[in-house]
């Protein structure tokens, strides 16, 4: 399978949260949120002596339509990360691809010497550990990185920038099984199947809750 025909990791993490969320949103353009943009720039500066104005100029260059709220969010993230021990990295926005799984994605940061990747999140850190979708994301990206580079990746860092917290995570067999299961779900949807609402669907925070009655319908079902 050619990389352009592969399933992107962001599709995988959308479907693992709720297959219906992926079903409804799969044809919409994938855009970086303003908050992710802020977190990304804060993360890339890492250990540098960070100046608010410098990062703000970068954000305004990347996204000329950035709002006042992002400036306030940037200030919050810088305050949260003032003592955060960001590890050194060798590359950023590193594209990885697994021909075996038909999967592709982008590692926010990668360290080729120490063999880890980093995922930058605009989410507040959970009280303990990492979110389920982030664990699956890490499993998918490390698998693709290993196949792309031909070296073993034990795990990586998940950066919860708004909390100033970085957590190390090593994917296990359960995470890799979840990658395989969710790939099957995504491919089934792309082939025309209609997913059902899972038992623990996050309906209250879903953008599609008003459109979703629990089970999507094919157009042919309406006639």
Mean pLDDT of the chain: 89
133 token code pair = 């979708």
The whole-number pLDDT of residue 198 equals 79
Q: What does the pLDDT look like over 142-194, one tens digit per residue?
A: 999 999 999 999 999 999 999 999 999 999 999 999 999 999 999 999 999 88
Q: Is 69 exposed, middle or buried (0-12, 13-18, 19+ CB in 10 A)?
A: exposed
Mean pLDDT computed over 102-126: 97
Q: Report the sign of the C-alpha dihedral through residues 23, 24, 27, 33, in that order.
A: negative
User: Residue with structure tokens 């009280």?
Assistant: 127
Q: What does the pLDDT look like over 49-108, one tens digit per residue?
A: 768 889 999 998 998 877 778 889 999 999 999 999 999 999 999 999 999 999 999 999
Q: Where are the beta strands (DSSP E) in the chain?
A: 7-8, 91-98, 103-111, 116-121, 155-160, 165-169
pTM attached to this predicted model: 0.89
152 Rama sector, left if φ>0, alpha if ψ -120 to 50, beta otherwise: beta
> What residue ranges do the domains of the chain occupy?
3-190
Task: Name the CATH topology of 3-190.
Answer: Lambda Exonuclease; Chain A (3.90.320)
3-state secondary structure of 151: coil
């Amino acid at each position: 399978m050619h990389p352009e025909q592969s399933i992107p990791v962001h599709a995988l993490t959308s479907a693992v949260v709720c297959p219906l969320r992926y079903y409804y949103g799969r044809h919409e353009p994938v855009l970086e949120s303003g908050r992710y943009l802020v977190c990304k720039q804060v993360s890339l500066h890492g250990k540098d002596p960070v100046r608010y104005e410098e990062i703000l100029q970068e954000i305004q260059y990347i996204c000329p339509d950035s709002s006042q709220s992002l400036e306030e969010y940037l200030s919050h993230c810088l305050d949260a990360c003032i003592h955060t021990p960001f590890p050194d990295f060798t590359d950023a926005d590193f594209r990885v691809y697994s021909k075996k799984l038909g999967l592709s994605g982008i590692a926010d940061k990668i360290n080729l010497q120490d063999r880890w990747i980093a995922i930058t999140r605009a989410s507040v850190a959970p009280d303990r550990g990492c979110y389920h979708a982030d664990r699956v994301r890490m499993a998918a990206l490390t698998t693709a990185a290993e196949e792309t580079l031909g070296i073993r990746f034990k795990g990586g860092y998940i950066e919860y920038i708004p909390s100033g917290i970085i957590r190390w995570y090593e994917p296990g067999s359960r995470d890799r099984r979840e990658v395989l299961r969710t790939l099957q779900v995504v491919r089934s949807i792309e082939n025309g199947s209609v997913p059902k609402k899972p038992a623990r669907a996050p309906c209250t925070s879903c953008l599609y809750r008003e459109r979703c009655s629990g089970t999507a319908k094919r157009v042919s079902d309406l006639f």
